[in-house]
């Protein structure tokens, strides 16, 4: 095997440690949706356990932004699905290669269409998680207020 044909292996030094994802009971399958960041299911699980809280205003803005992306994807979805087929081009070898390359970069595991489909499927779960996180924040805020009132009953009703 020539040097060019040999697979590249990452160089490890005594300081470098290969990445190994943590395995837990709550492990989520590694899919296109989890590659970029936190999967919606993980975020929702965090919110259900109280590990994710966000104030009302920030939560509304997060949801508004996500909804904007969802709406944009929905509006353009019929055009985007055209990427599921190789674009028609001439019959030259170059055109066939370009057509296949365009199709592959849109539809492989890291492809544009693959990633957009994964995002489209995850966004509603993100919205659910944010709604739960808003509730968590309100509950924590109410509990903190009750605790502060118990500690210093005279401060009840005073502005901070």
Q: What are phi and psi of 42, to 5 degrees?
A: -70, -40
Please compute the mean of the pLDDT values over residues 105-127 and round it to a whole number.
Answer: 88
C-alpha 100/C-alpha 88 separation (Å) is 10
What is the tally of structural domains in the chain?
1
Does residue 114 sit within a domain? Answer: yes
Closest CA relative to residue 58, chosen from 136, 156, 148, 142: 136
Contact between residue 130 and residue 63 where contact means Cβ atoms under 8 Å apart? yes
Please compute the mean of the pLDDT values over residues 76-101 and round it to a whole number.
Answer: 90
Does residue 116 sit within a domain? Answer: yes
Does residue 144 sit within a domain? Answer: no
Does residue 92 sit within a domain? Answer: yes
What single DSSP character describes residue 110? Answer: T
Please compute the mean of the pLDDT values over residues 68-90 and round it to a whole number.
Answer: 90
Beta strands in 7-109 (DSSP E): none
**Residue 158: predicted pLDDT:** 55
Question: Regarding predicted confidence, which is higher, 25 or 1?
Answer: 1
Does residue 69 sit within a domain? Answer: yes
Q: Classify residue 18 as exposed, middle or buried by CB count within 10 Å of its CB (0-12, 13-18, 19+).
A: exposed
Please compute the mean of the pLDDT values over residues 38-61 and round it to a whole number.
Answer: 91
Range of the domain at 130: 54-134
CB atoms within 10 A of CB 61: 13
Does residue 61 sit within a domain? Answer: yes
pTM for the model: 0.62
Q: Given pLDDT bands bounded at 50, 70 and 90, which one contains residue 138?
A: very high
Q: Given pLDDT bands bounded at 50, 70 and 90, which one contains residue 27?
A: very low
Does residue 86 sit within a domain? Answer: yes
Measured at the alpha carbon of residue 105, what is the angle toward residues 99 and 109, in degrees to the nearest 5? 140
Does residue 141 sit within a domain? Answer: no
Sequence-separated (6 or more) residues with CB below 8 Å from residue 10: 16, 18
Please compute the mean of the pLDDT values over residues 9-26 and round it to a whole number.
Answer: 39
Closest CA relative to residue 133, chosen from 65, 40, 68: 40
**Residue 129: predicted pLDDT:** 95
């Amino acid at each position: 095997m020539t040097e060019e044909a040999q697979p590249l292996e990452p160089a490890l030094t005594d300081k470098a440690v290969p990445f190994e994802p943590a395995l837990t009971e709550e492990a989520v399958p590694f899919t296109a949706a989890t590659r970029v960041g936190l999967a919606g299911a993980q975020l929702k699980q965090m919110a259900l356990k109280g590990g994710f809280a966000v104030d009302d205003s920030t939560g509304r803005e997060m949801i508004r932004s996500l909804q904007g992306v969802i709406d944009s994807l929905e509006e353009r979805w019929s055009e985007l699905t055209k990427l599921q087929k190789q674009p028609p081009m001439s019959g030259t070898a170059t055109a066939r290669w370009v057509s296949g390359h365009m199709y592959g970069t849109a539809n492989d595991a890291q492809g544009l269409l693959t990633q957009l489909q994964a995002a489209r499927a995850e966004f509603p779960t993100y919205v659910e998680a944010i709604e739960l996180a808003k509730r968590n924040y309100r509950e924590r805020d109410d509990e903190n207020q009750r605790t502060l009132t118990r500690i210093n009953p005279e401060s009840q009703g005073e502005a901070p």
